[in-house]
Amino acid sequence: MTALPPFVAWTLLILLCFLTPPALAAKKILIYTYTQGFRHYSIPTAVSVIEHLSSTAIPPIETVHSEDPSDFESPDFLTQFDALLFISVSGKALSPTGANALREYIEAGGGFLGVHEACDALYHYSWYGRLVGAFFNYHPQITHATLNVNTSHPATAHLNATWRVYDEMYNFNSNPSLLGKQYVITADEGSYKDPVETVEQRARVQGEIHPIAWWKEGNQLDYNRHVKVGGGTDPTKKEIREGTAGTGGEGRSFYTALGHTNAMWKDEAFQQHIMGAVGWLLESPTLRSSSANASEGAVGSAFDPTAASRTMRKGATGAISGPGVSSVTVKGSPLPWSKSQISTSGTRRARGTRRSNVAAALAVSMLLAICV
């Protein structure tokens, strides 16, 4: 065989580089589980499930788990994350310095997911109540209950119109919808017994519709001085005077009251509920990872120009609780498919990349044929 001329060898090397897809910069989430007061026994299971589902997602999501409030006090610690997951956090949860860092992270457009007891924390910060949607009031004994589902969100797209669960039915100190929260799961109060308060008593506080899970995009911490929401979510005069009341926050937030037991965290439908919410948070256009021209001060992982190919792909049909979406399980199934414009354009770009690789391979073959 004749030796390849140097220029041909270099050409082959360059073309072969195109055959190897570039490594994707992983999206990054913080799982925070510090508790001061009641601690859910399901927290270790929750962390394990989220870490596993994130590592086996397509593409993988990088996770950091913390139970140390002082982490929030480290300069720029939070800015590396695309979303923060507060899993059954309780009590004070953060020092004043750490709470201020959390508020600034949200104001900068960072994502937030609160799960279960996350609404039972940081009561002395009204802006946190607005971020979560409402502070915890009480729950009756754990029970079998029927939930009503709006399937228009990635966190619920896999479910049927009703969902039967065994969990705690949280009640709240205010009405999340007054803060612009969009409900995706509500409780059928006729499907279980609550001897603590009547339906009418609960409705006067949290609204006639019993909220269980909701989302909001933009204006996470905003408030209307002329509208009193109550339940600790209205800013105090001191917060307003000191400039710590919280404003803006153009990113995304999601809250679900479910997730009390180990069994719930091992349930495939609930896992997809959580990871569907995570996926939606990570697609926020306010994140640094979403644009090469992100606004100054944006938070999140570094922008990856190949991010289109990281889009959560559509799975095979045969979902656990509804048609058309594959389940996310601890076996490592893909994340739920998103119908966002980012995902659509990403799919087209990924296909174009594959076509380019095929063309490069053909060119290499032709050069080899010439030189042999």
Q: pLDDT tens, 209-219?
A: 999 999 999 99
- % residues pLDDT > 70 (the chain): 75
Least confident of 37-46, 85-94, 154-163, 292-301: 292-301
CB of 174 closer than 8 Å to CB of 156: no
Query: Does 312 map to a domain?
Result: yes
Give dist(CA 331, CA 347) in Å, integer. Answer: 24
Query: Residue 49 is part of a domain; what is its CATH number?
Result: 3.40.50.880
261 burial type by CB count under 10 A (0-12 exposed, 13-18 middle, 19+ buried): buried
Tell me which of 326 and 107 has the higher pLDDT. 107
pLDDT in tens, 230-241: 999 999 999 999
The DSSP bridge pattern shows strands 136-138 and 120-121 to be unpaired
Whole-prediction pTM = 0.78
pLDDT of residue 359: 33
Asked if the structure places residue 38 within a domain, the reply is yes
Q: How confident is the model at residue 291 (pLDDT cuts 50, 70, 90)?
A: confident
Model confidence band, residue 25 (pLDDT cutoffs 50, 70, 90)? low
Q: Look at residue 307 in the predicted model and tell me its pLDDT.
A: 55
- Residue 14 domain-assigned (yes or no): no
d(CA 14, CA 329): 40
Tell me the pairing of strands 252-256 and 211-217: antiparallel
Do residues 137 and 174 make contact, with C-beta atoms less than 8 angstroms apart? no
pLDDT at 309: 42
Q: Tell me what the mean pLDDT of segment 141-160 comes to.
A: 97
Per-residue pLDDT tens digits for 350-362: 223 333 333 333 3
Quick one: pLDDT at residue 332?
A: 27
Residues 6 or more apart whose Cβ sits within 8 Å of residue 351: none
- Coil, strand or helix: which one is 221? coil
pLDDT score of 80: 96
326 belongs to a structural domain:
yes
pLDDT digits (tens, 9 = 90+) for 173-211: 999 999 999 999 999 999 999 999 999 999 999 999 999
Between 153 and 338, the more confident residue is 153
Say whether pLDDT at 90 is over 70. yes
pLDDT the model gives residue 292: 82
Question: Above 50 in pLDDT, residue 104?
Answer: yes
What pLDDT sits at residue 294? 83
What's the whole-number mean pLDDT along residues 8-30? Answer: 56
Q: How many domains does the chain have?
A: 1
Is 230 exposed, middle or buried, given 0-12, 13-18 or 19+ CB atoms closer than 10 A? middle
CA of 1: how far to CAs of 4, 58, 361, in Å? 9, 43, 21
**Strand 61-66 relative to strand 27-32: parallel, antiparallel, unpaired?**
parallel
Q: Which residue has the higher pLDDT, 332 or 202?
A: 202
Does some domain include residue 125? yes
Is residue 129 assigned to a domain?
A: yes
Q: Containing domain of residue 194, as a range?
A: 27-341
CB atoms within 10 A of CB 100: 15
* First vs last C-alpha separation in the chain: 6
In a domain, 189, yes or no: yes
Tell me if 312 sits within 8 A of 58, measured CB to CB.
Answer: yes
- Would 279 be classed as within a structural domain? yes
